[in-house]
Amino acid sequence: MKPAGFIMKVDRLGRVVIPKPIRNKYELNTDDALEVFIDDNGFFLKKYVKTCAFCGKDENLTDFKDKVVCEDCLKELKGL
Ligand SMILES: [Zn+2]
Ligand 1 centroid – CA 13 distance (Å): 38
Question: What is the pTM (predicted TM-score) of this model?
Answer: 0.66
Spatial CA neighbour of 47 closest among 24, 67, 13, 69: 24
57 in Cβ contact with 51 (< 8 Å)? yes
Residue ranges per domain, the chain? Answer: 15-49, 50-80
Ligand 1 centroid – CA 51 distance (Å): 8
pLDDT band at 80 (very low <50, low <70, confident <90, very high): confident
Ligand 1 centroid – CA 62 distance (Å): 10
d(CA 59, CA 72): 10
In tens, the pLDDT along 52-73 reads 999 999 999 999 889 999 999 9
CATH code, 15-49: 2.10.260.10
